[in-house]
A and B are shown apart, each in its own frame.
Chain A
Amino acid sequence: MSAEISPIPYANDLGFRLLSISARGAEFELASEERFMGNPLLRAFHGGVICGFMECAMSETVMRILGYDAQPRLINLTTSFLGSAQVDQALRVETEVTKAGRRFVGVYARSYQGSVDRIVAKASALFRVSEGSPAPSFGERGHGGG
């Protein structure tokens, strides 16, 4: 990430930035770059780059909102692609923590371009977090357990 250095080298290499953060989620932006392109004929973001950006955004969300120092470990990531994302335009991702347990954290993300109505992908991921660093602020709001 450009504004603050992430503990994830791949995230720093993508170079996305944090736009906003709340108690439940965060918003990030990935700038338009040719190197993120998939098929040059379509000039669209590579699907894998979109997945990678969303996974990093989700990891960052877990660390920032739930206060984990250690990077969460990805269990799985399921992404649905709903439209093509043009590589000439910045890509945004909104994340939301859907489940904050002691061992597992679930996160939802949606990616869009231009307006929030133009969703290009949505994803859900499950992360394993280290025990011993519970998530007090989130847990106290009644979303703990697991």
Chain B
Amino acid sequence: MDGMNMVALLARPEVRSVFEQLPGAHQDLGIELVSVDDGEVRMRLPAAGRVARRTTSAAVHAGAVITTMDSAMGLSVLVHLSAPSSLATLELRYDELREPGESPSILVAARCAGIFHDVAYVDAVAKDDEGDFARAVARFVITGGGDDFMAGAMRLLAGDFEPDQGDA
């Protein structure tokens, strides 16, 4: 995967659909990758009733918003790096400016501010129909990823989600 540009990769519809169909939290919450443009990663979270924060309102719970922000922030680091790598979130601070409204979906935008040695600094904002309602800052450690990780990443991008198959 050396030299493969993440931005170009993510522009391919089949790669984006793989990303959205990843088994786990993305698929469970229906998180969509909206765009990757000029270093900014945008993702959309649909406001399903089961992830609401209270029974009397469809406003999305902070946990689902943070999950979307964490994913968008991680991808913004990969876009900044321009090559696949494994990452781990070191710290994430989430500030809620106000409760979100009952918008049909939440939009998250994340951007990597910079990378110092192996630590990436990322900002993100979450918006509903009225505008910004939450902000997050996070630090990620870039853990590199050896040949096994790269082979696994290639399998994932090919739509093979089984972790133990060595048929890449």
Contact = CB atoms under 8 A, between A and B. Distances in A.
A81 B141 CA distance: 11
**Chain A interface extent, by class:** 35 or more
Interface residues of B, number: 40
A46 B67 contact: yes
A35 B24 contact: yes
A32 B96 CA distance: 29
A28 interface: no
B167 interface: no
B93 A48 contact: no
A142 B61 CA distance: 32
B27 interface: yes
21 contacts: A10-B64, A13-B51, A40-B161, A41-B149, A41-B153, A43-B163, A47-B67, A47-B92, A48-B64, A48-B69, A48-B71, A49-B25, A51-B62, A52-B61, A52-B64, A56-B61, A56-B63, A77-B62, A77-B93, A79-B94, A81-B88
Interface of A: 7-14, 34-43, 46-49, 51-53, 55-56, 71, 73-81, 84, 87
